[in-house]
Structure 1
Amino acid sequence: MAVVTPETEAGLAPPLRCLVVDDDPLSVQIVLNCVANTPFLRAAGSCNSAIEAAEILRTQEIDVLFLDVEMPLMSGLDLLRTLPHPPQVVLITSSQSYAVQAFEFAVADYLLKPLSYPRFLQAANKVLDAITAQRAAEADALPSSSAEFTFVKVDTKLVRVDFADVYYVEALGDYVHIVMKNSKFIVYSTMRAIEDKFPVGRFVRVHRSFIINIDHVQALEDNSLLIKDKYIPIGQTYLRGLSQRLNKL
């Protein structure tokens, strides 16, 4: 079972971003309270319909989905059928009848209402274990810190990107904007894919929408940093980890 490590408490590993989806406002609040009491989780949002959740999942990076099954117009299971790459999912429902279908969707856990915090924490730890293992596997496949370049697909061609020339990467909906010394590229990708592709020794996530090259940081002030002529916001969950990285330069 996963535990909260000193590194997690220190902010070196950002909390897992959670979306709570339930058509019952009281149930939403109960889950949000559980999330708030779990140090390695952070509520990224909540909504009362699977339709609204689908749009949030399309436009935001969510690590964990706490999902009710029975909702009007589109059920929680219907939502899962529409997701090609779903996050970790914990189903929360008042009926045991969906357990078999939950197994088919390979959800992390299946919780019955009324929800208790100990049972919620057990599910949260399962999710943390799964995501930790997944990220460790991804880290093993990352380019080494000695890698000097990669290729990205721009329109119909592959373009070389020299890591030393990259200032920062900004999320633009379903695309990312790679800003370099002498050029800019708009690439169909996710920020998570960029994190996997760019060497971790040089690049760091500072905000949900920004990855920066620490070699080009000119100043750090309050909750923003300066690269070239661009002030880039720093998300609160990333601030301490970034400060420690910069102190090592």
Structure 2
Amino acid sequence: MPVPSSPLRCLIVDDDPLSVQIVANCIANTPFLTAVGTYDNALAAAELLRTQSVDLLFLDVEMPLMSGLDLLSTLQNPPLVILITSSKEYAVAAFEYDVVDYLVKPVSYARFLKAAQKALELFEDAAEPAPLTPAATSVDPDFTFVKVDTKLVKVLFNDVCYVEALGDYVHIVMPHSKLIVYSTMKAVEEKFPGATFVRAHRSFIVNLKRVQAIEDNTITIENKQIPIGQTYLREVLQRLNKF
């Protein structure tokens, strides 16, 4: 993976000195990352994040006074976040808070690098200009083709309920079927018309025409509860109000 012109500025928030040292060493050995500081409590980190910006936050979940998840709930525009946990039970919470990934202690460099590369891809996606609207491109306004195994399958945009990212694949979900496609969410966003589809979460793109209800930062489509990531909430609400 090419190194960006400026490394992602990383902040470590963890009350475990050994874990801090391990993550700091991992950052030091990753060319596209640079550490800008460490905190052993979420309260002090919250104060810094209100006045300064960082690109990537390595955040411990279990800390005294304020947990990592409590800290996330106080941030209006959080940076990219990788949770550091002592238990896999926080995987669901990580998903709900729209974090990039979660690392279980003790952190190995291989697992760290996988999460860091994911963060870099998301950072670069966000930094790129938005794709042109379908009217200004050659994208057909009614359908596209996606590769499923060895064949190209026609997808009618109106039939799609939502798209979900799962590892290196995306699931294009329709009322009575789904397609599993080797693709990135960025590629889906470029193919699907922006007038109808909106990114609601790092792992979900939804068809605004298919939204049945929205409540408690959750979208309902075909009885599927889809979380709205904090960084996408304003855009989703604005798009729904105008739709």
Contact 2:199 2:205 in 1 (8 A): yes
What corresponds to 2:142 in structure 1?
A: 148
**Equivalent of 1:198 in 185, 192, 196:** 192
Task: Return the TM-score normalized by structure 1.
Answer: 0.55
Count residues in correspondence. 166
Residue 139 (1) aligns with residue 141 (2): no
Q: 1:35 to 1:186 in 2, by over 3 A?
A: farther
Q: How far apart are the structure 2 equivalents of 1:180 and 1:228?
A: 9
- Per-residue deviation, residues 140-193 of structure 1 (Å, max 9, x unmatched): 687578710000000000000000000000011000000013321000001111
What corresponds to 1:228 in structure 2?
A: 222
What corresponds to 1:51 in structure 2?
A: 110
Mapping 1:179-194, distance limit 5 Å: 179-194=173-188
- Per-residue deviation, residues 193-248 of structure 1 (Å, max 9, x unmatched): 11111110000000111000000001010110110111111111111111111111
Contact 1:23 1:49 in 2 (8 A): no
1:177 is paired with a residue of what secondary structure?
strand
Decide which moves more: 47-56 or 193-202.
Answer: 47-56
What is the CA distance between 1:54 and its match in structure 2?
2.3
Question: Which runs of no fewer than 5 residues in structure 2 stay unpaired?
Answer: 1-7, 12-22, 28-34, 40-44, 54-75, 85-106
- Per-residue deviation, residues 118-146 of structure 1 (Å, max 9, x unmatched): xxxxxxxxxx8xx2xx324x336875787
Q: CA RMSD in A?
A: 3.5
**Equivalent of 2:38 in 23, 29, 36:** 29
Q: 1:241 to 1:212 in 2, by over 3 A?
A: same
Q: Percent identity?
A: 46
Task: Return the TM-score normalized by structure 2.
Answer: 0.57
What is the CA distance between 1:41 and its match in structure 2?
6.7
What corresponds to 1:166 in structure 2?
A: 160
Q: How far apart are the structure 2 equivalents of 1:55 and 1:207?
A: 20
Matched letter for residue 167 of structure 2:
G
Q: How far apart are the structure 2 equivalents of 1:156 and 1:192?
A: 21
